[in-house]
Amino acid sequence: MEETYLLNVEGVKKKILHGGQGELPKLQDGSKFTFHFQTLKDNFERTVIDDSREAGMPMEIIVGKMFKLEIWETLLSSMRIGEVAEFWCDIIHTGMYALVSRGMRRIAEGRDPLEGQKHRCGMGNMFDYHSTGYADLDELQRTPQPLIFIMELFRVEEPSAYKRDTWAMNNEEKLAAVPVLHSEGNRLVLRREFAQAAAKYQEAVICLRNLQAKEKPWEDDWLRLESLVTPLVLNYCQCQLELGEYYEVLEHTTELLQKHNDNAKAYFKRAKAHAAVWNEREAREDFMRVAHLDPSMAAAVKKELKQLGERMRKKHVEDRKRYQGLFQSPEG
């Protein structure tokens, strides 16, 4: 089919190269498009700028999540599953392409897509002609021009049909995801899959921190979310203890105790981490703080202090032997 269609959108023309199947997808916020694309210059050579097949992975975008190249949602929503179409887009729709392409290329290379752009506004980046790191994209920024997009649509999934990354969730979905992630983490702990469990707890914390960022610190809604964060952080730290990531535990428990200096469980986990890295004084101080805050943990503290004392005595004996051997005069 070579007929050219005008999409009823200013500055866009469509040519169907291969017909798709079924009806046009019914879209809603959160629907996910999966597709391959080529981006070409509108010149005699039709110079290829990007090709997702060469990058080795299809593209995915979520409807309603403010993808920088908004025209792509419009283009894809005009396609049926399996369709291949060519779109000519005028300059009014392509001005942001260089920045979008830069991010996609960095992701394909396994790099941070925001590297060099953090803490800077989008307009500032757009006019920084040396920020992309790619000569052809720098040229596009200097001289905006019409572009041709060839797209092949594989799949359109409704929000309920796939597991959504937390960044793609709205506030209600993030809050609903927290107990599910918490439960999945607990299940993985029972199976002693501590790394996977830690990832679940961490994802739940990220959801809550994103929600907290929209609230005023220490007011009711913020505190309500904080009460959900605390046990997740403690569970995460327990997993890290099991994995031997003691400095990770020290970092997160210390951060937690800066906000909640009466949390006995946080002191207990920090004490165990201190003990594991031979910080005897800090470990003893934290264990004693636990016994003061929660007398019901006194027996556990006593056991840990005994083990700490035995480990430190053994270490001192080994250190003395090592130093004696180091300074002993050679026989001769």
Which residue in 145, 1, 144, 152 sits closest to 75, CA to CA? 152
pLDDT in tens, 239-264: 999 999 999 999 999 999 999 999 99
Outline where the chain has alpha helix (H): 52-55, 71-77, 91-94, 97-108, 122-126, 135-142, 171-190, 194-212, 220-243, 246-259, 264-276, 280-293, 298-327
CA distances from 174 to 180, 185, 231, 233, 243 (A): 10, 16, 17, 17, 28
The pTM of this model reads: 0.53
Which pLDDT score, from 0 to 100, does residue 127 have?
40
Q: Please give the average per-residue pLDDT across 207-215, as a whole number.
A: 87
Q: What SS3 state is found at 72?
A: helix
Average pLDDT in the chain: 84
Residue ranges covered by each domain of the chain: 4-157, 171-312
Q: Tell me how crowded residue 10 is: count the other CB atoms within 10 A of its CB.
A: 9
Tokens found for residue 217:
């610190």
Give the fold, CATH level 3, of 4-157.
Answer: Chitinase A; domain 3 (3.10.50)
48, 40 Cβ separation under 8 angstroms: yes
Looking at residue 100, what is its pLDDT?
86
CA distances (Å), 259 to each of 13, 21, 83, 119, in order? 57, 57, 55, 26
Q: Are 16 and 22 in contact (CB under 8 A)?
A: no
CATH number, span 171-312? 1.25.40.10
Is pLDDT at 65 greater than 50 in this prediction? yes
pLDDT score recorded for residue 13: 94
Average pLDDT (176-199) is 92
